[in-house]
Amino acid sequence: MAEHTDSCTAERTDKQCVTIKISDNGKENFERGCNPVELANILLREGLITLEADETFTGAQELLNGTTSPAEFSDHFSTEQKKWLAQAVLDKKHQKDIYQTLQVQGLSEKGISEELLQLKQDPYFQIAQQQHFLVKKRNWLLDTLDRFARLNPEYQQIARIKVPSFDFFIQHYYSRNLPVILTHAVDHWPALTNWSPAYFQQVVGNQEIEVQFNREQDPLFERNSIRHKTKMTMRDYVDLVTQTDHSNNFYMTANNAKASQSSLTKLFRDIGHFHGYTDHAQLTDRSFIWFGPKGAFTPLHHDLTNNVLVQVYGRKKITLIPALQVAHLYNDVAVFSKIADPHAANLVESFPEFAQSSRIECVLNEGEALFIPLGWWHCVESLDVSISVSFTHFNIDNAGAETFPSSV
């Protein structure tokens, strides 16, 4: 039988009355003359008082404190405890669980009750509640669209097709935010025939380049890429790559492109047009050369534009996760996830939401190009000594980075 609820009133100092919704059990205890502070603490803990940021809530505080201003807390909440409490309330964690968790940390019922009351009154928190709802609503929409998208087999696998017309590519992949592998994509590029570590050494060996170095000493090497920038000659770098069996300690990446651009001018001459997809005049400004050993790894992230990754030498394994699944990928800073490697063991134990995502894997062979749509999460591993080119200069709208929100 459903528990009946009723209400009681508390008279405020300004003679206005407010209402606290309580159960029959709570009302009976009031009528018996129980200590209102103790009773309110119990009701809060058991979830029998609904704390809302309105007159009802203000009346509850006055009932607890006998004053219209917040009482000093009997327990000191640390900053981290306050953050945890705010998140727990936003996530609608059961009040009994909130009390139990905080009491284990040495906080009293009264202190927890007062902190909850003050939290709910805080106008900053009220705004946070509104925004939290909007985020949850948006995540619901993304999850629902993702569920429907999975009904299409093309959504959970990456097609390999011969390079189509640009119009066909736009209609079936670019505009639909779907990845695709284009075969025989760069058969006409001199780079496909010429490029190798030995060729780099021969053509630009004396040029100074910038590379990422000491990556294996830093779990957040990609986020901290600026700290890992090192300059050396291409000749020395080629020796380092070719004399190493497997490593992620050094890598020439897009992060080094601007610094190395003038040094690699002769290499860019080997990059041809791309079937009318791109504005070739922007080649050197919006194309990037990647060169590293077997084992070079780029952690899980998403890009702010649509881009194409062309494999010129060696092979790469790419793992992609649809953009619609962002709510389950623990995005914490900018374009990065707390999950660096989606293949790591026991991930779901630490990141349970990740179980809701779907990984799509592919191997990119020499001469193939992978279209990676904006927002699609991906990580990349070199299966051999590898040379790749990525580019973003499509002959169509590819804006995204310009409107990306700044970090907190």
Per-residue pLDDT tens for 269-279? 999 999 999 99
Q: Residues in the chain with pLDDT < 70?
A: 1-74, 408
In this structure, the answer to whether residues 199 and 300 fall within a common structural domain is yes
Read off the tokens for 123.
Answer: 């106008």
In this structure, the answer to whether residues 79 and 27 fall within a common structural domain is yes
In this structure, the answer to whether residues 308 and 201 fall within a common structural domain is yes
285 in a structural domain: yes
In this prediction, residue 39 carries a pLDDT of 58
147 in a structural domain: no
How far is Cα 63 from Cα 36, in angstroms, rounded to an integer? Answer: 7
138 in a structural domain: no
In this structure, the answer to whether residues 185 and 314 fall within a common structural domain is yes
In this structure, the answer to whether residues 215 and 354 fall within a common structural domain is yes
Residue type, position 155, single letter = Y
How is 266-299 classified by DSSP, letter by letter? HHHTT----TTSB-GGGHHHHEEEEEE-TT-EEE
How far is Cα 104 from Cα 205, in angstroms, rounded to an integer? Answer: 63
Burial of 326 (0-12, 13-18, 19+ CB in 10 A): buried
Q: How are strands ordered across the β-sheet holding 287-292?
A: 160-162, 180-183, 369-372, 307-313, 386-391, 287-292
In this structure, the answer to whether residues 352 and 208 fall within a common structural domain is yes
Parent domain of 243: 152-403
In this prediction, residue 275 carries a pLDDT of 97
Task: For the beta carbon of residue 341, count every other beta carbon within 10 angstroms.
Answer: 14
In this structure, the answer to whether residues 330 and 384 fall within a common structural domain is yes
Ramachandran sector of residue 330 (left: φ over 0; alpha: ψ -120 to 50; beta: rest): left
pTM over 0.85: no
325 in a structural domain: yes
In this prediction, residue 20 carries a pLDDT of 44
Domain of 347: which CATH number? 2.60.120.650
**379, 333, 382, 324: which is closest to 356 by C-alpha?**
324
In this prediction, residue 258 carries a pLDDT of 82
207 close to 176: Cβ distance less than 8 angstroms: no
In this structure, the answer to whether residues 186 and 285 fall within a common structural domain is yes
In this prediction, residue 261 carries a pLDDT of 87
294 in a structural domain: yes
In this structure, the answer to whether residues 230 and 278 fall within a common structural domain is yes
In this structure, the answer to whether residues 166 and 46 fall within a common structural domain is no
In this prediction, residue 34 carries a pLDDT of 54
In this prediction, residue 4 carries a pLDDT of 46
The number of distinct structural domains making up the chain is 2
In this prediction, residue 301 carries a pLDDT of 98
In this prediction, residue 241 carries a pLDDT of 98
In this prediction, residue 149 carries a pLDDT of 96
380 in a structural domain: yes
In this structure, the answer to whether residues 317 and 376 fall within a common structural domain is yes
